[in-house]
Structure 1
Amino acid sequence: MNKQLKSGLLVLIFSITMMIVLISSLTLRAEVVVSQEKRLGTMGISESRGVWLTNIDSDVLFTRERLKKSLKTLRKLNFNTVYPTVWNWGYTLYPSQMASRVIGKSLDPTPGLKNRDILKEITAQGHKQGLTVIPWFEFGFMAPADSLLAQARPEWITTHRDGTKIVKEGIHDRVWLNPFHPEVQRFIENLIVEIVRNYDIDGIQFDDHFGLPSELGYDSYTVGLYKQEHQGKPPSENFQDPEWVKWRADKITDLMKRVFFAIKANKKNCLVSVAPNPQRFSYEYYLADWQKWERMGLIEELVLQVYRDDLKVFISELEYPEVKAAQKHIPVSIGILTGLKNRSVPIEQIATQVEKTRDRNFAGVAFFFYETLWNMSQETVAKRQGSFQKLFPRTVQRNTRLPSRVSP
């Protein structure tokens, strides 16, 4: 082989080698950029970024100006969804004819809500800021034991096996409306339809409280209904008996189906969102079989509450089979705890949990609750808001579709 040919081959081989190195470098760089953008939520596809607004340990709802300012701040920090409470402590937080007929009060009597319709304010101001507004039917079938609702309709309250009604929630005495009683079902359905029909909302959200603590259900009406369907046989004295649990859970599923279609009959595009605990807890302790609801097409957005400090436990709950199955059908977001009144959660923990959620291609995140994003924390407002700005560096659309992101 002559020297000229040999020299030409060497040049060609060198050129090809350099091209391979360059292509590999560009590919690696692209993968790093995609990985970074995915971690930061800036891929420009979609991500749900929500927060729950509540009137418990929070005053965000109690003046027009504070509410308006808070929604502006959320938009500025690139949030795109709010879940404002509309039903808790035995009252509606909007003027309700349905509540007035049953309770005798059309609105929560808290002074900051007087002569206001906060749901109308939130939808108007929220939409002005480009926020999706999904009211949260927070208390579901639960009510304070001393509420006007419990006093007005004692026959609606279900019981333990010993006939007692009180269920402790922290320091509070609660009672539970009987979700198997037709009058209760009509009342709850009417409240929900009233919201859907009268307000410019984007969806409505339920959680485990649209179920029942599994130790309840021994009131005379429910026992009679069970006997009627079981040839006179009474329900098990063991409230965790699998058949007794399933019978009650299936009845609640039937009600969920009825409510879903009532919502759709009044507003076809109203999103039905459910924010439960992990399936086993939700089913065994609250008779809320959300896995079945999801398979039946009764959930259009799932926001799974994963309020865990231990990162290994947090990750394990993201990887349950029923969660992965739901991801294939509907947008699934993860509820992350940002703190409670007497429990501050470090922003580093919050950021890590958001990252782990993104790594697993979830539709987004929702934070519980507004006040602990930055107002109620051991860290400064500036540090917290700056950290959320890094988590959400630019505006993205809410994720309303199946995840279409790059796999990790």
Structure 2
Amino acid sequence: MKNYKYSALFITFVIFSFLNLNAQELVKHPKTEFRGVWIATVVNIDWPKTSSDSVDKQKADYIEILDTYQKLNFNAVIVQIRSVGDAFYPTKLAPWSKYLTGKEGKAPVPYYDPLEWMITEAHRRGFEFHAWMNPYRATMNYNTAALSPDHDFFKYPEWMIKYGGKYYYNPALPEVQKHLLTIVDEVVQNYDIDAMHFDDYFYPYKVAGEKFNDTASYEKYGKGMSIDDWRRDNVNTFVKDVSVSIKKSKPWVQFGISPFGVWRNKSVDPRGSDTEAGQTNYDDLYADPIAWMDNKWIDYLVPQLYWSMDHPKASYSKLLKWWSENSNNTAIYIGNGTYKINADSDKRWNNPLEIPNQIDITRSYKNVQGNAYFSAKGFVNKNQKVTKLLSENQYKYPALPPVVPAAVKNIVIVPAASNLVMDPISIRFDVQRPLYSKIRYVVVYAAPFGSAIDSSNPSQIVEKVAYEFNSDTTQIIIPSYKMDINTTCAITFIDYYGNESQATIVDLKQ
């Protein structure tokens, strides 16, 4: 316990040492904050736990993840639905994933649509659902005999580049970009997702002694640019096209990317961060998040700062400050590496306060609106010292996800309660969804007995209830113990963009 107290004092010193014009007063319990978790399906990292799991076990394990993070007051899940040219949903554009059924191209038995089901269960628990795709990675190894005949490796072999133990789609080919855009469009149009999400895999991380052989494409499409600028332009073109397509189809669906944590090192660019990263977004992955922000092609960034606070080559604290100072037009959340807790050569990760301290310093920057954690298994029946600290401190109360900058607007409609029923166990009433509106949730607030209801106070959030996809009415059920013998509560609407309406007081005595 003495060590914990010392660490807490130390982090206070660090936070105030880094405060500058971009910082603000630390809010202990923010009402609005992104709290997301990545659920990785590739090689069964998080879910399904094995590729041979039955459908019933798959569903039970997914719900366990949701319930774990709901209890920790998280509000978003980032679920990997395409990792290696495959799919976790029925489509003619890619085979079923082997990580779902054990064999690529094999459908689930008994049949169900995992993506539709996962979205529904996430919304029922108040989560945003971010559909995560790896657009360019085609395989995890060279064992092509294990691929389905319907995999793009066999259908379009001219699209593939062999590199570093894997096959990749060639980002330079217009037909590849068109195909990948069609894949994104299909998911956006057919599923009730809240966001489309890409991670850090654009051009592959460089492998010593190997060449990414896109020479022929460069000679054909290079247009006089250097090969590095040309590669960045290929990525930028795809990011722009995805953005335009999403907003044309469903303007409320966000487009987010979680790039590698270092844009460029200061040693090669004075605008870069004070880091010594071996690879960077701009110079090695040919990804330029600064350009994406400047051109308003994305709604949010989640730079992956998977290092400890004081890492000598890539300090979380320094990189957090850099991203805050360089944010533009875009929501910024920080990616945190919970997979390193008690499992990394950097022994700072053995301190249960590392993640809580990272949250605290993140909250001290006004241009950063939350965190996401890689990956889900980090807190499912693991690292209980850390989760206990979070549940008693940083994540003691719920929070609503931020509205991304381009989607902020006023909701003029307000909810109304009807069909009120009270008994010793619960309070129940209905809330009609307004006609021709994009309302996703009703939030219920209640104050401790004797206190006024304050919908800006996250400690007063008692329920967040989703409308079922095809229903115009939702029933609110509040356990009586949550009301503390109060005779009123308040309700608000949350629209598909995340905007919250003004509160309506509900008189429970009527």
Q: Give the TM-score normalised by the residue count of structure 2.
A: 0.60
Matched-pair identity in %: 25
SS, match of residue 112 in structure 2:
coil
Q: Distance in 1 between matches of 2:295 and 2:114?
A: 33
* Residue of structure 2 equivalent to 1:26: none
Question: Retained in 2: the 8 A contact 1:53–1:85?
Answer: yes
1:244 paired with 2:234, answer: no
Q: 2:63 is matched by which residue type in structure 1? A: K
| Aligned position for 2:101 | 111
Matches within 5 A, 1:163-182: 165-167=162-164, 173-182=165-174
Structure 2 gaps, min length 5:
1-22, 50-57, 265-279, 409-455, 457-510
CA contact (8 A) 1:311 1:353 kept: no
Deviations 1:178-225 (A, max 9, x none): 011122112211111111111100011112213445675533541332
Residue aligning to 1:283: 282
Displacement, 1:401? 4.4
Aligned to 2:303: 304
| Residue of structure 1 in register with 2:175 after alignment | 183
In the alignment, which residue of structure 2 is the partner of 1:77? 72
Distance in 1, matches of 2:334 and 2:317, equals 11
| Aligned match of 2:158 | 155
For 2:171 and 2:358, locate their aligned partners in 1 and report how far apart those are by CA, in whole Å: 35
* Residue type at the aligned position of 1:354: I
Q: Deviations over 1:318-350 (max 9, x none)?
A: 122x64231x52210100000159926443111
Q: What's the offset of the Cα at 1:68?
A: 1.7
d(CA) in 2 for partners of 1:36 and 1:260? Answer: 31
TM-score, normalised with respect to structure 1: 0.74
Shift of 1:299: 1.1
CA, structure 1 residues 341+39, in 2 after alignment: closer, same or farther (shift >3 Å)?
closer
Contact 2:39 2:79 in 1 (8 A): yes
Between 1:254-263 and 1:123-132, the stretch displaced more is 254-263
1:4-403 pair list within 5 angstroms: 38-40=26-28, 42-44=29-31, 46-55=32-41, 56-61=43-48, 63-99=58-94, 105-108=95-98, 110-111=100-101, 114=108, 115-138=111-134, 140-144=136-140, 145-147=142-144, 148=147, 149=151, 150-158=153-161, 165-167=162-164, 173-213=165-205, 218-219=213-214, 221-226=216-221, 229-230=223-224, 243-277=226-260, 278-280=262-264, 281-311=280-310, 313-320=315-322, 323-326=324-327, 328-339=328-339, 343=343, 345-346=349-350, 347-361=352-366, 362-375=368-381, 377=382, 379=383, 381=384, 383-390=385-392, 391-401=394-404
State the distance in 2 between where 1:207 and 1:303 align: 9
Amino acid in structure 1 at the alignment position of 2:252: N
Cα offset, 1:109, TM superposition: 5.8
- 8 Å CA contact 1:304, 1:334 repeated in 2: yes
Aligned to 1:10: none
Partners of 2:228 and 2:112 in 1: CA distance = 42
Deviation at 1:72, TM superposition (A): 2.1
CA distance in 2, matches of 1:135, 1:194: 12
Deviations 1:154-193 (A, max 9, x none): 21123xxxxxx221xxxxx212110111221122111111
Deviation at 1:275, TM superposition (A): 0.5
The higher radius of gyration belongs to 1
Residue 59 (structure 1) shift: 4.5
Alignment partners' CA distance in 1, 2:170 and 2:30: 46
Q: Which has the higher contact order (CA 8 A, sep 6+)?
A: 1
What does the per-residue CA deviation read over 1:16-45, in whole Å, with 9 as the maximum and x for residues that have no partner? xxxxxxxxxxxxxxxxxxx999453x132x
Query: Contact 2:198–2:258 at 8 Å: present in 1 too?
Result: yes
Deviation of the 1:368 alpha carbon: 0.4
User: For the Cα contact (< 8 Å) 1:83–1:136, is it kept in 2?
Assistant: yes
Answer whether contact 2:199 2:259 (CA < 8 A) is retained.
yes
The Cα of 1:374 is off from its aligned counterpart by 4.1
- Whether the aligned pair in 1 keeps the contact of 2:200 and 2:258 (CA below 8 Å) is yes
Does structure 2 conserve the Cα–Cα contact (< 8 Å) formed by 1:213 and 1:287?
Answer: no
Question: Helix, strand or coil: the match of 1:98?
Answer: coil
1:124 aligned counterpart, secondary structure:
helix
Q: Any idea what SS the aligned residue of 2:89 has?
A: coil
Note the C-alpha offset of 1:106: 3.8
Cα RMSD of the aligned pairs, angstroms, is 2.9
Q: Give 3-state SS (helix, strand or coil) of 1:136's partner.
A: strand
Q: Distance in 1 between matches of 2:38 and 2:182?
A: 23
Q: Is the 8 A contact 1:245 1:287 kept in 2?
A: yes
8 Å Cα contact 1:141-1:179 kept in structure 2: no
1:373-398 alpha-carbon deviations (Å, 9 max, x no partner): 243x5x4x3x3331221220111111
For structure 1, list consecutive stretches of 5 or more residues without a partner in the other structure: 1-34, 100-104, 159-164, 168-172, 236-242
Q: Do the aligned partners of residues 57 and 348 (structure 1) sit closer, same or farther apart at CA in structure 2, a change above 3 Å counting?
A: farther
CA distance in 2, matches of 1:59, 1:329: 32
